[in-house]
Amino acid sequence: MEKKASNFELLRIISMFLIVAGHVTWQSKFSYNELNLLHRISIQALWMGGELGVWGFTLISAYFLSQSRFKLKSLKKIWGITLFYSISIYLLLVVFHIIPINLKDVIKSFFPVLTGNYWYVSAYIGMYLLVPYMNLVIKHLDKKTYQKFILLMFFMFSVLPYLKNITVVTNNNSVFNLVYIYFIGGYLRKYSSDFSRDKMKYYVMLFIGSLLLMLVSIFFLDIIKPKSWFIFLTTSSPLEALAGVFLFLIAKNVTISYNGVINKIAASTFAVYLIHCQAIFFPILWGKIVRAEQWQFMPYTVGYELLIACIIYCVATLVDFIRIYIVKLYSNIWM
């Protein structure tokens, strides 16, 4: 079996860490109006990573899926591990009397995909079901037509919402956004030779430029429209789109040969999402355990947030390592 290079696996890890770190800011009840502007921006800036992580994670999937065949086994695996963590976490919360039993929570936990309680999983599965049809489109589009298609989608998903009604872009976590990202990833794979390593300095500069523009957007919105500071930090934001694509191209062109440690950690990235985003556990984690807002007046609050993200990531990864070990143990016994 061919061993996978670790550049994309490292991007997988980075993307999931950015998502966790973004959630620390997004889910904490910071009193931004009580903080000075620079301190406020330093905290809010972490949310840039939350959506950037979605782009990185989805582009990796699109890059490989766009040149492969639909596999029902992969879909079953995603559904299975989602059910495992959703149900297991709920049962643990009930057994340890952290929450009472009620029908609404049971439905959320036992039918997480159908109820949309993991928005990304529900959207990803929807996207995955469309993969055979999207791949047909990718296969038959010539380069010029594909470029026009990408530009049209960019205008529709990343530009038009801002021109029409700026509030529309705040509600954009759906299968349509992942389909949009998928076609971009498909283009990057189909015309991979156009995005070679000799252009790396441009990828880095444009990536940094996109991040700086997002910081500038936070700065001005904090002044003129403070309740909408995140407007340009959504999944469909043109700045997030550019940053996501250039981060991906950087990872694509970085040479990292097979690294067992990186690949092992990367194999549990999806579990990190499933554990810390479980519908019933999610408000308990941020509202009762983490409560990052308690450090909002301390200097370098963002440092505490990153530490929290590291702890959550490491604990969730360790939990999944244990799950994998137990599954292998029982598999060996019954084989």
Q: Does residue 307 form part of some domain? A: yes
Q: Does residue 1 form part of some domain? A: no
pLDDT at 67 exceeding the cut of 80: yes
% of the chain with per-residue pLDDT over 70: 96
Is the sign of the CA dihedral 273, 278, 281, 282 positive or negative?
A: positive
Instruction: Tell me what pLDDT residue 168 has.
Output: 45
pLDDT at 39 exceeding the cut of 90: yes
Alpha-carbon distances of 103 from 100, 117, 118, 260, 283, rounded to whole Å: 10, 15, 18, 43, 18
Q: Does residue 189 form part of some domain? A: yes
pLDDT at 169 exceeding the cut of 60: no
The residue segments making up the domain with residue 21 are 7-334
Angle at 260 between CA 181 and CA 246, to 5 degrees: 25
> Terminus-to-terminus CA distance in the chain, angstroms?
21
Instruction: Tell me what pLDDT residue 331 has.
Output: 75
- pLDDT tier, 205 (very low <50, low <70, confident <90, very high otherwise): very high
Mean of pLDDT values over 108-114: 94
Mean pLDDT score across all residues of the chain: 93
Contacts of 40 (CB under 8 A, 6+ apart): 30, 32, 222
Q: Does residue 290 form part of some domain? A: yes
pLDDT at 165 exceeding the cut of 80: no
59: tokens are 């582009």
% of the chain with per-residue pLDDT over 90: 85
Q: Which of 5-14, 127-136, 167-176 has the lowest mean pLDDT?
A: 167-176
pLDDT at 212 exceeding the cut of 90: yes
pLDDT at 130 exceeding the cut of 50: yes
Instruction: Tell me what pLDDT residue 164 has.
Output: 65
Q: Does residue 58 form part of some domain? A: yes
Number of domains into which the chain is organized: 1
- pLDDT tier, 270 (very low <50, low <70, confident <90, very high otherwise): very high
Q: Does residue 30 form part of some domain? A: yes
- pLDDT tier, 5 (very low <50, low <70, confident <90, very high otherwise): confident
pLDDT at 170 exceeding the cut of 50: no
Rounded distance between C-alpha atoms, residue 108 and residue 133, angstroms:
30
Q: Does residue 2 form part of some domain? A: no
Mean of pLDDT values over 193-220: 97
- pLDDT tier, 1 (very low <50, low <70, confident <90, very high otherwise): very low
Q: b/e string for 117-142 if b means 16 or more Cβ within 10 A?
A: bbebbbbbbebbebbeebbeebeebe
Angle at 227 between CA 221 and CA 228, to 5 degrees: 55
Contacts of 330 (CB under 8 A, 6+ apart): none
pTM: 0.94
